[in-house]
Structure 1
Amino acid sequence: MRYLIKRTYNFNIPDRGYWIEKISSWTKFLKKASSSRDCIEINLMNAISKKKFSSFHIVLLSCFIELLKKRGYLIFLNIKNSDLEEFIHNDMSLTLYWRNKIDHIDSPDDSRLNLWRVVEGKSDEYEISVHRYFTKKFPEIDFFMLKSSLGELYFNIFDHSKANGVAFSYIHYDEIEEIMHIAICDFGLGIASTIRNAYPKIQDDREALFESIKRGVTARSNKHNAGFGLDNVISTLSNGSMLRIISNRAVLLYTKKGRKIKTKTYNLPFEFKGTLINFDLPISSFDKSEIEEEYTF
């Protein structure tokens, strides 16, 4: 088959704001493929190295590819940096997610839980896998709150986002820094937009994101849903933790250092249609497991 390259998209640098802006502009006027031979070329330039290719980039790129596939395009992924190419093809096995139509492939590196396609009905499988992995690695630590937080974030995608299957998550544990890097992305309505539809008095997307992390704030789309689960994520954050939310036309940054908490919101000069949640959790932020003493009578 002779392929027709309809578009070429270049990622020149790893800057996160650059990636969000580029993908937002590329998807804004994206039409469906006109034939089964239509192909889109994606180039990751040499400045994007394995070291600078984070959980953030992985879920965002995966959502972008998923959207292109749903629009009927074939994808040619060209990776200039050799270390990154090795990582994407032989560690992540990224192309197999579409070639073999699967939702998860285990990474050969036990510091990574690898990419998961967020699929309704399978969130329990992922939560249990994450909980089992970290409990085995750190048996003295209680990861129940992590499991609970992930569960609510997945339910948020199913209940509110209307992402049409364009949603991925990825977890990487940095052995040197002892920090868990978690990213979840969907190309749906966006938390900010959903909140504003539920609460018309909210003035803009910055205010909407600020309200979304409060306990009990809900989109009111399902009776069983008490909120977006972001208050649970906030409750897991301890010293050195950071949470970033990018949605629609705003960004929220929440940091915690000791007893000092900072919450900042920023405007985006463009619209990102969806939600990207990225948080960093030091292992030291989790509570120790409570081990009950056994008595013999």
Structure 2
Amino acid sequence: MSSATDCVATLVDHFQKRRPIRAGSLIITVYGDAIAPRGGMVWLGSLSKLVDPIGINERLVRTSVYRLTRETWLQGEKVGRRSYYSLSGPGRRRFEQAFKRVYHGTQPPWSGQWTLVLLTQLEATHRQKVREELEWLGFGHFAPGVLAHPTLDRSEAIAALQEQGAAEEAIVMQTKAMEPLASKPLRLQVRESWNLDALADNYQRFLTQFRPLWKALNEENHLGEEDCFIARTLLIHEYRKVQLRDPQLPDELLPTAWEGRNAHQLCRNIYRTIYQRAERWLDRHLETAEGPLPAPGPNFYQRFGGLE
């Protein structure tokens, strides 16, 4: 049987063998999971030391942070000879949108309503761009030029269209709830529109990757603080990649045996088990211009329905 330490080493090895190494994506995970709850700013040197054991050296950190700054995710500040980086305004908004999906709790019961967006009046190039943005928000493709979402309301759809300069040309409708809420034809339509089979495969890979760690933690929970930070970072990194493709459909529209539920439970269980030791590691190894990073804000403890 593998120990928890062995499992973490396997996860790191798996990350390092991927080509190309997505250093920028992992740094986004670290900011979203560990740094944002503590004010969002950190010394570049302490960030480098933090991710070095995962296989991202100082040169790669600098290159990735420079790129994230150019893409307006981060903003830099010089204090003496040291560089400090924090989330920019647009970066913080993107983090909040992306990461609230990762840590969500249970969803309320579905009302049975749908928000429909018709893009048939948009010019082809603009229509494609708007469609991609709506799909990122979780809309599914019901028919040519017609996108649908079961939980995002009309005002949120209009706000997204306004950002894309398409509010005057798109048609937005909200349906009335009908019985039954999730008929067999509707479930089949949902399966096709959101490609749930491919999403289920991604969740299954996540489960296969992290179940050995959960089993090991249950049998001997002696994982050190640094390994807890590494495990937590890779856990959220891999889960986030699947979550961002997940439209967060209501339970009523999902298959009975849905891998996404199992993946969420596994991620929550591991996170709750190791997060405190990871936080102690962060307390000692992350610096701002004023000294150690402040403690996490209260929102941090609401993750996964509440951290104990």
Q: Which structure's relative contact order is higher, taking Cα pairs within 8 Å and 6+ residues apart?
A: 2
Identify the structure with the greater strand proportion.
1
TM range (shorter): under 0.3
Greater Rg, structure 1 or structure 2? 2
TM-score by length of 1: 0.25
